[in-house]
């Protein structure tokens, strides 16, 4: 196929290029610049080369130890909430009504947690879980469970996980529901005729048809939970000790607590790279597994074809790095 | 395999209390013979898909009963009825191979593996799907997918009937012919009752030995293609079957004569006891009216145009407000724009309020 050659068309890209340059590339370059230097305040900088990066990956140093420990906690956290939210979201979507006024009611109720600002979510659970005045904490202690997220590691973890499940399962459920709604009735009728059980219908029709929205859901939830900051910071402040200190919390401690801009910048870059690489691997694996499904992509609704946009949240990372 | 009886069956999407006139399927009582090839023919919205879905159990009828071999199965769910249905658009299970797709209805019913493999191989062979049995079903073309759907309908040997809901809509015309003759061959080979819904008369007439014509929620006639052609029981059947459709003309009928505009047309039978006050019409197929040069004793019509279908020519004429098509023999031409019409009395039928009236000999 012959392409029309028109170099002037590049001018159309120019505005976007400028916006991206000032909003993303230039701040990012500042971070790259800092990551190679050490500072002792007073705007004095000393060249450090790749020193911070070496330290980051070496668990025997202070920086590396803290980074790798928080990275481990973060990965564990993401795995746990994915393992809970994805199946739970599917179950919720499956049990939602398919028509009538109850659909609207369910959608509104499900959407509510998503509309609450993140630090408010943290505050809600911080108060909700307090043993003295919080409904949850008080009731748990009243029935004889020794629950205190301020002093007990496990309680703190459970609180943070339950909070995330409460906050974000709706997103998975809504995505799955959209996937389910796009399945034509003929599929269910055919399955009835073929004598399929409820489980067989799920396995043969619903799960394969939800495949693409589930990919989006897992990607979004992985990235969001891997970048989590506000809610655990408000609830536990990363404690007790360092037990709920995730990478982003560690980053803020280093950048703003210690004002170690060089270390913090190096950490941000590695953090960013990890997310990019994990998402890329994940997306490639999932789309390759779905290559056979491509032919039928044209019959799928546009809503199910958004995964490309799922990689976009990367610029959303920048504000957090801007902090550094 | 079973005989299917519909007893006073009716369905309304608005519930049982709706006025009978608004029912999607008006009360019908009829029998589907075991091993028959039926076509359910009618225009869109005439209730044929509703009837099909009622038989398969996707819809529970508002009124009446369905009997399989004399046994009332109306309250049974689709899964418990022994029925197969193929839908308008191909339904395939994405994650399975072609073979697994074909095996799905059997596997769900706990058929032993050896038996499943045998049936799948057989159906795969009959539908020419055997090269694909181990391939994923999603990558095939639309017609191959529809063949899989057909195969899933045919794979169970014990079904009471296989229902087809316009299964060839998505198929290219060329392949349509192939698949239709394949279905016909399968019907002979497998000895299954097949009910085939379509709005395409060619499809109905070539597939079925009994064609059931529906109009406005009612079954208006069921019979062999020849019966539908020669003796339409309802003016709608006359008009819907055949191309061009039957000519329907308002007329006064007395004894062995029909009068149109004072002109007498001879009838083969005598109609003395026509219902009073009914709308009387005569119907005659274009094949049995000949357009000739105008002459004495002939009904004269204004000629509008001549359609040349290659094998046969039809003269389109106008009689007052009514339109009438007539066979134009070779060499027919009309210099003054009029044509005389010669009716074949043995093929002129009389209708009272759209229903065929049998005359006395």
Does residue A130 belong to the interface with chain B, where contact is any CB pair within 8 Å? Answer: no
Element (H, E) at A63: helix A62-95
Q: Is the pLDDT of residue B125 over 50?
A: yes
Query: What is the phi/psi pair of residue B231, to 5°?
Result: -140, 70
> Is B280:B250 a contact under the CB 8 Å cutoff?
yes
Helix or strand or coil: residue B108?
helix
Looking at the DSSP assignment, which residues form a beta bridge with residue B198?
A: B41
How do the pLDDT tens digits run along chain A, 324 residues long? 567 778 888 889 999 999 999 998 898 898 898 888 888 777 788 888 888 888 888 888 888 888 899 999 999 999 999 999 999 999 999 999 888 899 999 999 999 999 999 889 999 998 998 888 889 889 998 898 888 888 888 889 999 999 999 999 999 999 999 999 989 888 988 888 888 888 988 988 899 888 888 888 988 898 889 888 888 888 888 878 888 888 888 888 888 888 888 888 899 999 989 888 988 888 887 777 655 444 444 444 443 443 443 343 333 333 333 333
Does residue B79 belong to the interface with chain A, where contact is any CB pair within 8 Å? Answer: yes
* CATH class of the structural domain A17-323: mainly alpha
* ipTM score: 0.76
Structure tokens at A297: 């992509």
* Average pLDDT estimate for B156-161: 83
Structure tokens at B285: 């197929």
Does residue A194 belong to the interface with chain B, where contact is any CB pair within 8 Å? Answer: yes
Q: Is the pLDDT of residue B4 over 60?
A: yes
Q: What is the pLDDT of residue A289?
A: 65
Q: What is the DSSP letter of A206?
A: I
CA A106, A109, A113, A117 torsion-angle sign: positive
Interatomic CA distance for residues A132 and B130, integer angstroms: 71
Angle at B108 between CA B105 and CA B109, to 5 degrees: 90
Does residue A296 belong to the interface with chain B, where contact is any CB pair within 8 Å? Answer: yes
Q: Is the pLDDT of residue B339 over 70?
A: yes
Structure tokens at B72: 């009332």
Residue B216 backbone class (left: φ over 0; alpha: ψ -120 to 50; beta: rest): left
Query: Which chain B residue's Cα is nearest to A203?
Result: B95
Q: Beta strands B63-68 and B37-41: pairing type?
A: unpaired
Instruction: Name which of A190, A197, A204 is nearest B87 (Cβ-Cβ).
Output: A190
CA dist A313 → A32, A214, A275, A318, B157 (Å)? 20, 17, 11, 10, 55
> Is A247:A71 a contact under the CB 8 Å cutoff?
yes
Instruction: State the smallest CA–CA distance between residue B79 and chain A in angstroms.
Output: 5
> Is B239:B245 a contact under the CB 8 Å cutoff?
yes
Cβ-Cβ pairs closer than 8 A, A with B, add up to 60
Does residue A295 belong to the interface with chain B, where contact is any CB pair within 8 Å? Answer: yes
Q: How many helices and strands in chain A, by DSSP H and E? A: 16, 2
- Alpha carbon A121 to its chain's center: 16
Q: Is the pLDDT of residue B21 over 60?
A: yes
Contact A190 B88 (CB under 8 A): no
Query: Which chain B residue's Cα is nearest to A296?
Result: B138
The full set of domain ranges for chain A reads: 17-323
Contact B104 A204 (CB under 8 A): yes
Instruction: State the smallest CA–CA distance between residue A223 and chain B in angstroms.
Output: 28
CA dist B198 → B211, B232, B316 (Å)? 10, 19, 28
Sketch out chain B's domains with CATH numbers: 4-234 (3.40.50.300), 247-357 (2.40.50.140)
Show residues of chain A in contact with B138, CB under 8 Å. 292-293, 295-296
Q: Which of B39, B37, B33, B78 is nearest to B55 (CA)?
A: B78
Q: What is the pLDDT of residue A111?
A: 92
Cis-peptide, bond into residue B232, ω within 30° of zero = no
Q: What is the pLDDT of residue B168?
A: 84
> Is A96:A172 a contact under the CB 8 Å cutoff?
no
Interatomic CA distance for residues B175 and B182, integer angstroms: 10
Interatomic CA distance for residues B219 and B47, integer angstroms: 9
Residues 106-145 of B with CB under 8 A from A: 108-109, 136, 138-139
CA dist B309 → B126, B225, B253, B297, B313 (Å)? 37, 21, 33, 29, 6
Structure tokens at B347: 């093929």
Residue B99 CB: number of other CB atoms within 10 A? 23
Residue B164 backbone class (left: φ over 0; alpha: ψ -120 to 50; beta: rest): beta
Does residue B22 belong to the interface with chain A, where contact is any CB pair within 8 Å? Answer: no
Does residue B152 belong to the interface with chain A, where contact is any CB pair within 8 Å? Answer: yes
Helix or strand or coil: residue A157?
helix
Contact A195 B96 (CB under 8 A): no
Does residue B178 belong to the interface with chain A, where contact is any CB pair within 8 Å? Answer: no
DSSP for A216-255, please give it: HHHHHHHHHHHT--HHHHHHTTT-STTTT--HHHHHHIII
Helix or strand or coil: residue B157?
coil
Q: What is the pLDDT of residue A169?
A: 94
């Amino acid at each position: 196929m012959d392409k029309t050659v028109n170099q002037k068309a590049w001018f159309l890209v120019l505005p976007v290029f400028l916006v991206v340059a000032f909003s993303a590339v230039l701040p990012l370059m500042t971070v790259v610049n800092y990551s190679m230097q050490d500072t002792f305040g007073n705007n004095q900088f000393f060249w450090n080369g790749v020193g911070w990066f070496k330290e980051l990956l070496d668990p025997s140093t202070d920086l590396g130890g803290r980074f790798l420990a928080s990275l481990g906690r973060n990965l564990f956290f993401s795995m746990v909430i994915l393992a809970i939210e994805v199946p739970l979201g599917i179950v919720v979507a499956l049990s939602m009504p398919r028509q009538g006024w109850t659909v609207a009611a369910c959608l509104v109720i499900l959407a509510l947690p998503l509309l609450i600002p993140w630090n408010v979510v943290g505050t809600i659970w911080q108060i909700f879980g307090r043993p003295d005045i919080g409904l949850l904490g008080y009731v748990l202690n009243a029935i004889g469970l020794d629950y205190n997220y301020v002093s007990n590691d496990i309680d703190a973890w459970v609180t943070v996980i339950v909070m995330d499940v409460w906050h974000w399962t709706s997103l998975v459920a809504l995505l799955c529901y959209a996937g389910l709604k796009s399945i034509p009735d003929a599929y269910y009728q055919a399955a009835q005729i073929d004598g399929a059980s409820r489980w067989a219908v799920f396995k043969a029709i619903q799960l394969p048809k939800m495949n693409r929205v589930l990919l989006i859901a897992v990607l979004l939830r992985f990235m969001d939970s891997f970048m989590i900051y506000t809610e655990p910071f408000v609830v536990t402040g990363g404690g007790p000790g360092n037990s709920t200190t995730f990478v982003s919390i560690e980053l803020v401690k280093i950048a703003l607590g210690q004002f170690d801009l060089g270390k913090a910048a190096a950490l941000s870059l590695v953090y960013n790279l990890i997310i990019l690489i994990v998402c890329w691997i994940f997306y490639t694996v999932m789309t390759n597994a779905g290559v056979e499904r491509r032919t039928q992509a044209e019959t799928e609704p546009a809503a199910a074809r958004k995964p490309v946009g799922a990689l976009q949240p990367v610029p959303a990372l920048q504000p957090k790095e801007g902090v550094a | 395999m079973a005989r299917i009886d519909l007893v006073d069956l009716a369905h309304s999407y608005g519930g049982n209390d709706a006025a009978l006139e608004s029912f999607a399927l008006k009360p019908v009582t009829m029998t589907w013979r075991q091993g028959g090839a039926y076509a359910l023919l009618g225009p869109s919205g005439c209730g044929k898909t509703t009837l099909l879905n009622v038989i398969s159990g996707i819809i529970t009828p508002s009124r009446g009963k369905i009997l399989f071999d004399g046994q009332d199965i109306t309250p049974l769910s689709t899964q418990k009825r022994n029925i197969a249905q193929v839908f308008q658009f191909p339904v395939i299970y994405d994650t399975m191979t072609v073979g697994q797709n074909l095996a799905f209805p059997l596997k769900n019913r706990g058929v032993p593996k050896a038996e499943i493999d045998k049936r799948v191989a057989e159906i795969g062979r009959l539908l020419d799907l055997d090269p694909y049995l181990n391939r994923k079903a999603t990558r095939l073309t639309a017609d191959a997918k529809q063949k899989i759907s057909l195969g899933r309908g045919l794979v169970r040997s014990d079904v009471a009937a296989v229902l087809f809901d316009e299964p060839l809509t998505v198929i290219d015309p060329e392949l349509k012919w192939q698949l239709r003759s394949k279905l016909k061959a399968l019907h002979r080979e497998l000895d299954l009752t097949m009910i085939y819904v379509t709005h395409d008369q060619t499809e109905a007439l070539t597939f079925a030995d009994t064609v059931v014509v529906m109009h406005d929620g009612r079954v208006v006639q069921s019979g062999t293609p020849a019966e539908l052609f020669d003796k339409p029981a309802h003016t709608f059947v006359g008009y819907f079957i055949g191309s061009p459709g039957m000519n329907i003309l308002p007329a006064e009928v007395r004894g062995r004569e029909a009068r149109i505009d004072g002109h007498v047309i001879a009838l083969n039978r005598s109609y003395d006891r026509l219902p009073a006050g009914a709308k009387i019409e005569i119907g005659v197929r274009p094949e049995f009216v000949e357009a000739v040069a105008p002459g004495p004793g002939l009904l004269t019509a204004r000629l509008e145009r001549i359609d040349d279908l290659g094998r046969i020519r039809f003269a389109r004429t106008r009689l007052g407000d009514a339109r009438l098509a007539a066979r134009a023999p070779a060499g027919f031409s009309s210099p003054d724009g009029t044509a005389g019409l010669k009716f074949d009395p043995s093929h002129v039928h009389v209708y009272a309020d759209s229903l065929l009236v049998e005359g006395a000999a």
